[in-house]
Amino acid sequence: MNDTTIMTSTHARGYRLGLSSVLSILVVSLALGGCVSDDGGDVSSSVPPPTGSPPPNPNPPPGTPPPGTPPPDPGPPPPVDPNPPVPPPPATDVEAFQRTLHPLLRDPGNFCVGCHGATQIPTFAVADAVAAYNVIVSQQKVNLDDPDLSRVYLRPSVDRHNCGANASCDEIAAEFLAAIQAWIQIRPAPTPSQQTLMSSKTSFAAGMAGGAGRADANLVAKFDFDEGQGTVAADTSGVGTPIMLQVTGMEWVDGGLRNVSGKAQASVAESRKLFDMITASGQFSIEAWLIPEDTVQAGPARIVTYSINPNTRNFMMGQQATLYRFRNRTAASNANGDPFIEAATQDVQTQLQHVVMTFDPAVGRKTYVNGQVTAQEAAQTTLAWTNDQIFVLGNEPTNDRLWKGVFEMVAIHDAALSSAEVQQNFEAGAGDYVTLSFDVSGILGNPARIDMLATQLDDKGYVFARPTFVSAATGIRVKNIRVAVNDSVPVAAQAFRRVDTTVLQSGTELSPLGALIPVAQGAEMDQFHLEFEVLGGRTGLAESIAPSSPPMPPADVTDPSFGIRSFSKISDTMSAITGIAANNAAVSALFTEARDSLPATDDILGFGSSQQLAIQRLATAYCGQIVANATACSNFFGACTIAANGKTQIADRLYDRIIGANLANQPDRAAVTTEVVDAMNDLGCTNGCTGATATTALQATCAGVLSSAAVTIN
């Protein structure tokens, strides 16, 4: 990094600097200023001061050498080592991490340590370098094969995750990326010998194209929608003249083509392939992986059609709201392919579905959704197609039967797929699976391999599925399979770790599951191998277990040692103090109305003024029930009138009954008495009172004390 870069960098990140950083810069600036001043005599003598600069001080402080005086001899310079010591290379990967990325993660200016250096998972910025390394590596926060794909780099560079403004994020990302690259440069070489049971390596280039999973022997046309851009979706079947669909009103999405308002349409000439091959066989299948946008579109909305308008066709796969509809023009149908068939109950879901419609002249039509038959007929008949129809996806050629949704794959077969073949294609999935073979002959001493279906799921991950053992050897134990990419075993999503079986015959599927393996350098570059804990009679290593990572203790922040009574407790307390039952009709009605306005919990830090109003209302209700009953009133206050000289006595009773006698941690009795007497005076009882005036004053003073902090806070 050159000086210019440093200056730009400092400027860009200036706002991120904390006080200590600002002070540090100030100190450095002053020091630098001093240096310029100290050895700048010659400079100032030859370079005029810039315009606006203050003139040289004509009265320098005592001791300052006069201008032109050479600086004092600093003595001989220290010897310069022409070969400064180079630190030895790190002995461990942890040490390499500690020298490169870890300091940046710990730097408060990079914003990681504030959260991930303490309690927030993942705790990759903790002070303990080994602990941080374990998190960084075990949770795949860096990609040492392709640093650009490292999570710690992508978070600031792409996600802009807690890194300030864009410029700041870019700078942090660049520093992290450089540190990861430096880490790669200095880290000790990997030691693959640690995993002794390794299969041979393979790659997608060596995979069996088309995969072993699909039944494609009778393909006529197939569209995978992998183009990703452009206005043409190409027929990838490799059969006959390819059908090139012209795409309009559609948008490319990851692994598919979304129809928004248009269609993908072939020419009449290219569509003719369907007519020629299918009328020759007399049977066909329409197969699609698709995601309907909703379950209300109708018409039916055309998903796949071979037609010239809404009323004339050879076949149609359509959607009528919640049902898939199948039309086929036969000797028994009209020109539109009716009567159609469709399921009795909903078979359309707004998620990826595998839909297959088959026609066999001996048995009629069937519709399969996700491998299951949802509609079928028993009707022997023959095709009655015409050769002037147009193959279209997502609409009619006349643009008046729009289907909205995503196509991930469409295939046309000139045979009626059997139930087993439909199931096979469903299980093969929407992607372009290939079969990768991992040779394990070297481990077993006999010809043997493990086959896996594999595909690239998206630009970040591969799927490896259904490992199958192929060998004449039997009685072979297979335990704990991991998929490695470029000599590295990703820790996450290794779905075959729990495999532990003894193979008794060739072709045994070891697991029905699929593992998601992150892309390292791309499908064209990545090399894969398998590792095992046990294979045959040999034992390798199991993966290491990540260390336990209990959360950090909470900060030692002193909370109040007291709280506020919650809603139920306030009512219970007022009931206990006043002797009025909590299910008293008037009290209960008010409590029901005000309950949610009372404190929900005892946490006083959540207490608000509106809650105090609710408490006041409830206290007024309880005290109102006391004064409403003459006996209760007399029992509680001593009398239901207020004598001019009896107010202190009433205040004492309120104190004893509501606040509690002989409790040192309650408010001072005299102070409370003063307040209560003042309240009665303010309410017109200075000279004593009776009747409504007295009961109002008694109710008010009662409610005032009952709703006070002396009662509600404890």
Partner 1 sequence: MYPRKRANWGVLRAAIALLCATWASICQAGPREQAHRIHDRLVGIPPSATVLDSMAAKVASGDAIGAANEAMQNPAFYNTTVRELATPWTNRDRSVYAPLNDSTATVIGMVRDDVPFDEVLSGDIIYVGSTAATNVAYSQANNDHYLALQNNRVNLASNANLVRQTQSTLPGTPLAATETAGIMTTRGFAEAFLIDGTNRAAVRFATLNLMCMDMEDFRDVTAWPDRIRQDVSRSPGGDSNLFLNDCLGCHAGLDGLAGAFAYFDFDNTSQQLVYTANNVQAKFLREATTFPYGYASTGDSWINYWRSGPNAFVGWRGPGSGAGPKSLGQELAQTRQFSECQVRNVFEKVCYRTPNGAADLQAVQTIANSFEANNRSLKRVFAETAVYCMGD
- Binding partner 1 (rule: CB under 8 A), the pick from 8, 424, 501, 566 is 566
Residue with tokens 């795409």: 247
Which residues have a Cβ under 8 Å from the Cβ of 165 and sit 6 or more positions away?
A: 15
| Contact by Cβ (8 Å): 439, 422 | no
β-strand partners of 202: 528
Of residues 154-183, those binding partner 1 (CB under 8 A): 154
Of residues 439-458, those binding partner 1 (CB under 8 A): 457-458
Q: What is the distance, to the nearest Å, from the Cα of residue 281 to the centroid of all Cα atoms in its chain?
A: 50
| Contact by Cβ (8 Å): 414, 281 | yes
Cα separation of 517 and 457, whole Å?
A: 9
Q: What is the largest CA-CA distance in the chain?
A: 118
Kindly report the number of other CB atoms within 10 A of residue 123's CB atom: 21
Q: What is the distance, to the nearest Å, from the Cα of residue 79 to the centroid of all Cα atoms in its chain?
A: 58
Residue of 310, 365, 357 lying closest to 332 (CA atoms): 365
Q: 99 vs 155, which CB is nearer to partner 1?
A: 155
Smallest distance, Å, CB 114 to partner 1? 15
| 426 binds partner 1 per the rule CB under 8 A | yes
Of residues 597-616, those binding partner 1 (CB under 8 A): 600-605, 607
| 345 binds partner 1 per the rule CB under 8 A | no
- Rounded to 10 deg, the angle between the 691-706 and 630-637 helix axes is 60
> Which helix (H) or strand (E) element contains residue 132?
helix 129-138
| 584 binds partner 1 per the rule CB under 8 A | no
- Binding part of the chain for partner 1, among 187-195, 334-342, 374-382, 571-579 by CB under 8 A, reads 571-579
Q: 42 vs 572, which CB is nearer to partner 1?
A: 572
Of residues 492-511, those binding partner 1 (CB under 8 A): 492-498, 511
| 573 binds partner 1 per the rule CB under 8 A | yes
Q: How many residues does the chain have?
A: 714
| 541 binds partner 1 per the rule CB under 8 A | no
- Binding partner 1 (rule: CB under 8 A), the pick from 279, 353, 695, 708 is 353
CA quadruple 461, 465, 470, 474: dihedral sign: positive
| 670 binds partner 1 per the rule CB under 8 A | no
Binding mask 251-270 for partner 1 (x = CB under 8 A): --xxx---------------
Smallest distance, Å, CB 657 to partner 1? 10
Residues near partner 1 (CB under 8 A), total = 92
- Binding part of the chain for partner 1, among 186-194, 200-208, 318-326, 576-584 by CB under 8 A, reads 576-584
Smallest distance, Å, CB 357 to partner 1? 17
- Rounded to 10 deg, the angle between the 585-594 and 609-627 helix axes is 170
Going from the C-alpha of 429 to that of each of 85, 221, 232, 370, 463, the distances in angstroms are: 59, 18, 23, 10, 11
Instruction: Supply the DSSP string of 470-531, one letter for each residue.
Output: EES--SEEEEEEEEEETTB---TT-TTTT-EEEE-STTEES-S-EEEEE-SS-TTT--EEEE
- Binding part of the chain for partner 1, among 63-71, 324-332, 593-601, 688-696 by CB under 8 A, reads 593-601
- Binding partner 1 (rule: CB under 8 A), the pick from 23, 127, 420, 513 is 513
Of residues 645-664, those binding partner 1 (CB under 8 A): 660-664
Q: 8 vs 521, which CB is nearer to partner 1?
A: 521
| 231 binds partner 1 per the rule CB under 8 A | no
- Binding partner 1 (rule: CB under 8 A), the pick from 194, 560, 586, 682 is 560
- Binding part of the chain for partner 1, among 133-141, 264-272, 319-327, 627-635 by CB under 8 A, reads 133-141
- Binding partner 1 (rule: CB under 8 A), the pick from 161, 201, 595, 669 is 595
Of residues 359-378, those binding partner 1 (CB under 8 A): 370
| 631 binds partner 1 per the rule CB under 8 A | no
